[in-house]
Chain A
């Protein structure tokens, strides 16, 4: 792999990712659960006006979404 030529990722940082991922899994699971409960009760917050979700939308990939800009 080409990246071996480039910089040291930190051995500790490579090993620790298993733990970080496990914690993240628990956090995400409980967040999803809370979200489901909240949306069931109808108390979900509206979307962030500046930042969207992590997933790249299909519509963005297909069309030039940023070409509709003015100026």
Chain B
């Protein structure tokens, strides 16, 4: 087993300042009685709204934090106690925290990381060559990081995280702030790493689209608890019943000519948000009808926000415990 999490809880202490001098201790339970397992080579997504406990879970798995209760095994090690040993076998990319040296070209960071992970010089050279080809970095390898685009920088970040051939890659919001093209490139690379190079991926993201393209399994967290543990395709089948279409009309629309199963979700002048029930009608048909009757400036199609999916999970009475028992195993 690659990762085993057994009834883990994590509590934090916060001090609230009340008045001029009074401080009040507040205990926050960021993760509550969470259990799951991950087989080697799988790609698991941890999703949930802000404050759901995703980042805390990643920190617990990396050994940055220790669980208040329960036990964690990562590659047969206790991540908190064996942190230094485990560091050589796992890697992490935290979307908003760079490990690249800002004024220097990425190749310098790669070489430093090679020394940090005690990689033999010949092996490092070979490894860098592989990563440069895989991530297509050669055109900007010698440019200072500050001059790279966000997408190029993220490719370098992920390449840097792989320099020591980790067995598990933890990614916390790796596509945050990226444009559509850069996001797509990063997703393709991550999928390739997982499918063809057998790197186990644990990913957190707010974006359900990213998750669907990379991961096979998903755990939905809310308020520190697992509310759903499932295969991505099952989750799509059971809970992704709708799409949100945001349309910016050239002028106030007269007749939206809506099909059954489509409702106006929000309207602000010429910008209209529609919710389309995918069981009743097809998104393409809805868009075609609207475009045929109105002048449209812009259209975007999105998945419903995670909050509404979670709400749907609760409303449908679906929960991890009911679906798979206390200690479900994600096993392909």
A binds B: no
